[in-house]
Structure 1
Amino acid sequence: MKALLLATTALFALSAGAQAADLGAPRTPIAASVVVPAFSWTGFYVGAHAGYGWGNSRFFNGIAFPTSTNGPLIGGQLGFNYQFNQIVLGVEADLAYAAITGRASNLAAISHRTNMLGSVRARAGFAANRALIYVTGGLGFQGAATAQTPVGPESYSRVGYALGAGIEYAMTPNWTVKAEYMYYNFGTRTLGPLYAGTVRSDIHTVKLGVNYLFSTGPSAVVARY
């Protein structure tokens, strides 16, 4: 009986000592949660695009000669974004080779062709993580020519305005794809010396593009304690 009492007392003593040792040991911090941060749009980017344009041109020399124009375009763009919270502000410049052409529907044999289309624009958008919805506007540039058989083409360049909207999505931390609509208006220009008259045109475009972002934003996973 005395041996059983001594054994029980020793067991309780060992148990109390172990609990005291546990109370004195430092505890390793455990991550409360693992947070995946929102994608960052801040940084420079460069890319390429292709699309289709359509619009109207009108040659006027006392008689109006309206022309519907359409055709493909391909080019590139570069720009910079800055994001704070979910708002993204930026600037973009683009330039495209175009073949947007058309011939007057009357018997005058007058044709119009847009060879170059470009712009320098501001962008403002709302970011939902990897998706960016934006509006854009600024200066538009056109390289074009008007021709009448058998005189030949008269080439000219024009400056107008460009307005549009689009959506861009980040497929990876560096690569994004986008779809964009743009409207260009170049007003009225006086021709010469080949032709006596004026020409007026506007163009709508839809574009699909890809961009490479030089800033990849924050790391993919961050532990918060």
Structure 2
Amino acid sequence: MKSYFVAASMLMLGIASASAADIAARPYTKAAPIVATAYDWSGFYVGANGGGSWSRKCWDVVPFTITNPTLGVLNFAGPEGCHTASGATAGGQIGYRGQQAAWVFGVEAQGNWADLSGSNPSVAPLFAGFANRSRIDAIGLFTGQVGYSWGSFLLYAKGGAAVVRDRYESFITTGFGPGVPVGFIADRGAETRWGGAIGAGAEYGIARNWSLAVEYDHLFMGTNNVRMTYDPAFIAALNHDERIRQDVDMVTVRVNYRFGGPVVAKY
């Protein structure tokens, strides 16, 4: 009997081993690749901006002479002083960017309304009792850009052309009689001036297709001669040119909408 049970056990073990050998190995399945995403700054974009700006202006009288029956020959020349015209600015921009690896290149046009105003009393001896006032009411930029991105964060520099629209006037600060009270505008001038611009900014993608930026720009507007024309009721003989130097600084917050998908899949 004992021999029978031993033989039966050996037979069962043999059958179990053969069955296990016949079972196919479980197939190996390769894990799905991990998909990484990278922010892509390429594409056309439009946006809006707003902030503050200030302009330093210095006036010099372009030498001229008038002859007065009572005072004789009067020679006008020399500096009239400087002032800062400051205020708010707001506008919009449109541009295009292309990205190569982490480098971003682009072009942009920007147009802003502005309200930058300021004044100073004239320090020219023959213009004592007068003050000069200026106002910038429009600013435009046409620039190229180069930047470096870390995903959805972009640092960039820009440079190109700038244009501003200036208005100038002189007004009376000391009463000269009933016809010319304090505050009377004696002369006016205006110009559209072109110059150069450089700037830098930091931009961050806050949502699909939307980004937010802070930007600083400096405008080199040079020196121009501006014709100042007196009110005919005042002293038209004082019509003259002012040599006016100026530059402009701007700090703006910008929001952009970029057309197209901002994310590219990388494996």
Please give the TM-score of this superposition, normalised by the length of structure 2: 0.76
Alignment of structure 1 residues 1-225 onto 2, 5 Å: 1=5, 2-18=7-23, 21-22=24-25, 25=27, 27-32=28-33, 34-61=34-61, 62-65=77-80, 66-106=82-122, 107-149=129-171, 150-192=185-227, 194=229, 195-197=239-241, 198-219=243-264, 224=267
Distance 2:150 2:90 in 1: 29
Distance 1:105 1:53 in 2: 22
Distance 1:109 1:88 in 2: 48
Deviates more, 1:95-104 or 1:183-192: 183-192
Structure with bigger gyration radius: 2
Q: Quote the offset at 1:193 in angstroms.
A: 6.1
- Pair 17,105 (structure 1): closer, same or farther in 2 beyond 3 Å: farther
Deviations 1:49-71 (A, max 9, x none): 11111121122212322221111
User: 1:188·1:199 contact (CA, 8 Å) conserved in 2?
Assistant: yes
Contiguous gaps of at least 5 residues in structure 2: 62-76, 123-128, 172-184, 230-238
User: 1:42·1:81 contact (CA, 8 Å) conserved in 2?
Assistant: yes
The percentage of counterpart residues that share the same residue type is: 28
Deviates more, 1:68-77 or 1:56-65: 56-65
3-state DSSP of counterpart to 1:41? coil
Task: Indicate the RMSD between aligned Cα atoms, in angstroms.
Answer: 1.8
Q: Give the partner amino acid of 1:202.
A: D
User: 1:94·1:120 contact (CA, 8 Å) conserved in 2?
Assistant: yes
Deviations 1:72-112 (A, max 9, x none): 10011111111111111111110100001111134422100
Contiguous gaps of at least 5 residues in structure 1: none
3-state DSSP of counterpart to 2:12? helix
Distance 2:16 2:201 in 1: 75
Q: Quote the offset at 1:8 in angstroms.
A: 1.3
User: 1:67·1:105 contact (CA, 8 Å) conserved in 2?
Assistant: no
Please give the TM-score of this superposition, normalised by the length of structure 1: 0.89
Q: Give the partner amino acid of 1:94.
A: Q
